[in-house]
Amino acid sequence: MHLKKSLLIALILGIAAVTSWELYWRSKGYQPGLEETKDLWAVQREKVENSGKKDVLLLGDSRLLFDIQLNDWERETGIRPIQLATPGTTPLPAFHDIVKNTEYSGNIVISVTPIVFFSTTNPHAEFWHRIQSRVDYYQKRTLANQLNHFLDIPLQQNLAFLANDEELWTDDLDLKTLLRNIQIGDRLEGMKMPPFYRFQEIEIDRNLKMTERTVTDTSFANTVKSVWGFYGQRAGSGPPPDKESVLSFFLSDLSEFKSRGGNVILVRCPSSGLLREVESKMMPRTEFYDILVEAADVPAYHFEDYEQLNQFECPEWSHLSAQDASTFSTELARILIKDQVINN
């Protein structure tokens, strides 16, 4: 009897503690939402196994993730793309996985953000490792992993205090992040990364949009720009682009994919402001993008070349707002249909 009473009291106290913690963070402006994780990616990767000639895969970095809105693409083409683009990554490992580990021979849209695409083939480099780790996780995940993800989804959708993305957001609420945000003297040496607050919302099929706050709050958008500036400084002091190695690796996989009837479409998504100026200076189009397009001999679409695509201003220099991403997705799909690159 005493044991049952003790368990009941413990349960009530536990519920009270969780409720109080949740209400505290909601009072700070936090809301529940899905996290952009390897599990969410793996669910989409699994769809490739049963995809056909008319399907569309999206591979690349965060620009393709932000800028292609799945609803708008599906409305124009009749096909809902499989979104596999991942922030801060080169598309090469994911493309290699599709070529070597599947029989897929449909359409693949590949994002070409030169500073990422041409960065490296070093498996230990951050741009490579981030996506390779997801590929490896998909290949090795267990039924227990899948069950945990299935059970975790409704919790993420209803509890704000579970905010714990794989990106190092300053406003995550896991213990590691909370401790990392505590400043103790000058314990950090060298270049310190500015606060990086989440500016995205993601859906169950990885359709992702920029938050409205990023569009309307200039001060907030400036915090994201500061992060891009930090990464730019770090890139400037790091190893140079490995263009020859990247081209060799990519073109080898591309040749194999094309030989089995696969269709690759290269897309350069918009950027603007100071970031665009830095990109153009560091990696001129004629020395990188144009060389890739000529060597690949596949359909390629650079936002600068189309009036429908070159009028956008990115609120934080690197990604489109939700409204502009909707327009970009619609117009790009229409261009591809007109060019008979894909069918509707």
Farthest-apart Cα atoms in the chain, separation? 79
3-state secondary structure of 243: helix
Q: Which of 80, 91, 85 is nearest to 56 (CA)?
A: 80
Residue 1: inside a domain: no
- Bridge partners for 57 per DSSP: 82, 108
Tokens of 109: 């849209």
Supply 7's token pair.
């368990």
- Going by their DSSP bridges, the two strands 263-268 and 107-111 should be labelled as parallel
Assess if residue 232 is contained within a domain.
Answer: yes
pLDDT score of 184: 47
Please compute the mean of the pLDDT values over residues 325-329 and round it to a whole number: 98
Decide if 210 contacts 321 (C-beta within 8 A).
Answer: yes
Q: What are the pLDDT digits (tens) for 3-29?
A: 666 666 666 655 655 565 555 555 555
The band of 195, judged by pLDDT with boundaries at 50, 70 and 90, is confident
Task: List, in sequence order, every residue forming a beta bridge with 228; answer none if it has no partner.
Answer: none
* Whole-number pLDDT of residue 3: 67
Q: Would residue 11 count as lying in a domain?
A: no
Mean pLDDT for the stretch of residues 292-298: 98
Percent of the chain with pLDDT over 90: 69
Task: Considering only residues 240 and 82, tell me which one the structure prediction assigns the higher pLDDT.
Answer: 82
Q: Ranked by mean pLDDT, which of 177-181, 238-242, 312-316 comes out on top?
A: 312-316
Q: How far apart are alpha carbons 153 and 39 in whole angstroms?
A: 10
Structure tokens at 216: 């309307």
Residue with tokens 């920029």: 210
Query: Structure tokens of 122?
Result: 């070093």
One DSSP character per residue, 184-199 reads -TT---SSPPPP----
pTM: 0.86
14 within a domain of the structure (yes/no): no
Decide if 6 is inside a domain: no
pLDDT at res. 187 = 46
User: By residue range, what is the domain housing residue 310?
Assistant: 30-183+190-338
Separation of alpha carbons 247 and 287, rounded Å: 12
| Structure-block tokens of residue 50 | 């049963």
Domain count, the chain: 1
pLDDT at 32 over 90: no
pLDDT band at 232 (very low <50, low <70, confident <90, very high): confident
Domain presence at residue 25: no
Residue 178 has pLDDT above 70, yes or no: no
CB proximity list for 307: less than 8 A, separation 6 or greater? none
**Mean local confidence (pLDDT), 245-253:** 98
In a domain? residue 233: yes
Question: Coil, strand or helix: which one is 309?
Answer: coil
Tens-digit pLDDT profile for residues 122-146: 999 999 999 999 999 999 999 999 8
Name the pairing type of β-strands 208-210 and 200-202: antiparallel
* Strands (DSSP E) found in 15-121: 56-59, 82-83, 107-111
Identify the pLDDT of residue 152. Answer: 80
Let me know if residue 344 belongs to a domain: no
